[in-house]
Amino acid sequence: MTEDTDTTEARADGGGTGIVPPDDETPTWSERKARKQGLARTTYEYFERARREDQQLRQESDYVERDVLGFPAWPHETIRNLALTSFFVGAIVFLSATLPPHIDAPANSGVTPPTILPDWYLYWSFGLLKLGPLNPDLALLGGQKLMADRTFGVLANLVVVGAIAIVPFLNKGSARRPVEQPFWASVGVFGVILSITLAVLSVKNLFPMDSHLTFDLTFLVPFVGAFITYAVLKSMREGYMFELNRRYYRLRPPK
């Protein structure tokens, strides 16, 4: 870059034209006129005051102001990730060295164990197989059920998995925080609580509660949790701090 080719820069020594092209910050003449009177002036003053308060609040707080989309992968993210990784690897090595695992007797393949359960992360699916009381019976068939309870359970699995598969097409999820979309946040809370209550339902014989009450609570508790989440997040959308945060978090990665 040499000074000879840089002709667009305005010079103040009288040599140039002195005309500075307007940038984004410079108000146009119509904007300046619009700010003189009436509602436009009130609006302008209101937003200007909000901006000034925002700026003062940021300068007073001890948070580091960040106006970047992210931090570079090297060295910031890499060193942070290395620190976290070595912490957890160190914890695992330490625990495995100091607490050697108990090794049980080998399984006897000739004996059926008294309790048959899938791995814990499949309890929700196992619980969906136990929805027999929900299986409708038809008066037309003389009180007979349309399908067997086990078929109903498999169908319930299909419905739940299908609903989870559809969610990304219903909502792309551009919100950064649950406050921004209370409805979808409550849907998520509903799903999380339902998976937990279904897991409890799958082990209802081992759970210290009346099994009918467990069955009812399985479907009641998720709705209660979703309503509470929605109410809390909806009430958090009001107030000065939310407006401030919304402006602060407006910087988003491109969709």
Partner 1 sequence: MADEFMKGFGILVTAGLGWMVIAGWYKTPSFQGTQLLGEYPESPDVFSQIAIYLGESLFYFAIFGALAFWVLVPAINQARQAYDDRS
> In angstroms, what is the minimal distance from the CB of 71 to partner 1?
17
> In angstroms, what is the minimal distance from the CB of 53 to partner 1?
22
Residues in CB range of 115: below 8 A, 6 or more apart: 206
The nearer residue to partner 1, 114 or 136, going by C-beta atoms, is: 114
> In angstroms, what is the minimal distance from the CB of 101 to partner 1?
9
The nearer residue to partner 1, 111 or 165, going by C-beta atoms, is: 111
* Rg of the chain over all Cα atoms, to the nearest angstrom: 31
Residues in CB range of 128: below 8 A, 6 or more apart: 153, 156, 157, 160, 198
- Helix (H) or strand (E) holding 59, with range, is helix 38-60
Cα distance between residue 191 and residue 206, in whole Å: 23
The nearer residue to partner 1, 97 or 165, going by C-beta atoms, is: 97
- The residue written with tokens 């899938």 in the block is 118
Closest CA to 195 of 90, 103, 120: 120
The nearer residue to partner 1, 97 or 141, going by C-beta atoms, is: 97
Cα distance between residue 34 and residue 27, in whole Å: 10
Closest CA to 201 of 254, 139, 127, 135: 127
Q: Which residues bind partner 1 (CB under 8 A)?
A: 62, 91, 94-95, 98-99, 102, 104
The nearer residue to partner 1, 83 or 141, going by C-beta atoms, is: 83
> In angstroms, what is the minimal distance from the CB of 104 to partner 1?
7
The nearer residue to partner 1, 82 or 134, going by C-beta atoms, is: 82
- Helix (H) or strand (E) holding 222, with range, is helix 211-236
> In angstroms, what is the minimal distance from the CB of 99 to partner 1?
4
> In angstroms, what is the minimal distance from the CB of 206 to partner 1?
15
